[in-house]
Amino acid sequence: MGRVKKGLLDELFEAVVAGNVQLAKRIAERAVEEGLSADSALDKMMEAMRVVDKKHEMKEYFTVDVAAAATAMREAFRIFEPHLKVKPANIVGKVVIGSLKGNIQGLGKDIVAAALRSAGFQVVDLGVNVSPEAFVDSAIKETAQVIAISVSVDETIPFLNEVVELLHRKRLKEKVKTVVGGRAVSEKTRKEYGVDAYAKDAWDCVKKVRDLLSQ
C-alpha cells in the first residue's frame, strides 16, 4: 500500500476516534477518489471503534464521545459502502436483521447489513429495539432463511430465548436459522440459548450466513 493511502487510513482512524464527523466524511471522499480499498477502510474504522470502546471502558470517554465516534464512522461508511468488494454469495438468500429489544445502538448492525448486501444477500433491516415477535413475524412475511440479531446490552440477552422458542412453536426451527453478534454475546451465549451461529464481526457474519444457507 502506498504511503498516501496508508496516511489516509491513519487520518481516517484518528478522525473516527476523535468523533470528528465532517473530517471523517472529507477523508472518506478523498480515499474513494484515491482508489483506496473500501474494505481496508472499513477494517481501519472498526479498529478505531475498538479503541473508542476501550477508552469508554477505562472511563476516558463518556457516552457522548462514543456516540460522536459512531456517527463519524457511520457517515464515512456511507461513502465507502457502494465500493465494498466482498465476494458475491453463490447462494442467494434473504436475511432479516435487527438490534434486539432493549438495544438502541445500531452502528454494528448497520455495518453487518451492508456487508451482507455487498455479499449478494437480500437484507431486510428492522432497525433497533426489535421484539422477538417482530423478528419471527418478519422472517415469515419475507420468507427469510436467516434471522441476524445484534445484542450489545447484557441485560437483553434473555430475549434470545423468546426468538428461539417462537421458531420452535411455529415449527420453523429447521427452516429459519439464527445468527447472533454484538459486544454482549459470545460462542458461549450461542450454545446457552440454542442459536445456530455466532459471528464475531461483519465479515464473520457473511461467512456464517453462507454456512447456514448451505446446510
Residue-range domain boundaries for the chain: 3-83, 94-214
Q: Residue 118: its pLDDT value, please?
A: 72
**Three-state DSSP class for residue 147:** strand
pLDDT at 91 over 60: no
At 150, the pLDDT band (50, 70, 90 cuts) reads very high
Backbone angles phi, psi at 192, to 5 degrees: -60, -35
Q: Residue 108: its pLDDT value, please?
A: 80
Task: Mark 31-47 as b/e (b = at least 16 C-beta within 10 Å).
Answer: beeeebbbbbbbebbbe
pLDDT at 85 over 80: no
Question: Over the chain, what is the mean pLDDT?
Answer: 90
pLDDT at 164 over 90: yes
Backbone angles phi, psi at 94, to 5 degrees: -120, 135
Cβ count near 191 (within 10 Å): 10
**How far apart are alpha carbons 194 and 25 in whole angstroms?**
40
- Minimal CA–CA distance to 197: which of 184, 180, 183, 182? 180
C-alpha cell at 171: 415449527
Kindly report whether the global pTM for this prediction surpasses the value 0.85. Answer: no
Place of cell 436483521: 97
- Output 92 or 186, whichever has higher pLDDT: 186
| Residue-by-residue DSSP string for 52-92 | HHHHHHTTSS-HHHHHHHHHHHHHHHHHHGGG--PPPPSS-
pLDDT at 117 over 60: yes
**How far apart are alpha carbons 126 and 170 in whole angstroms?**
20
Strands 122-125 and 94-99: parallel
Cβ count near 127 (within 10 Å): 13
C-alpha cell at 186: 459470545
**How far apart are alpha carbons 147 and 178 in whole angstroms?**
5
Strands 197-198 and 94-99: unpaired
What superfamily in CATH does domain 94-214 come from?
A: Cobalamin-binding domain (3.40.50.280)
**How far apart are alpha carbons 84 and 20 in whole angstroms?**
23
pLDDT at 42 over 90: no
Q: Residue 25: its pLDDT value, please?
A: 97
Q: Which residues pair with 100 in a beta bridge?
A: 130
At 88, the pLDDT band (50, 70, 90 cuts) reads low
**Three-state DSSP class for residue 175:** coil
Q: How many CA atoms lie within 13 A of 101 on its CB side?
A: 13
CATH number of 3-83: 1.10.1240.10
- Minimal CA–CA distance to 14: which of 5, 24, 4, 6? 24
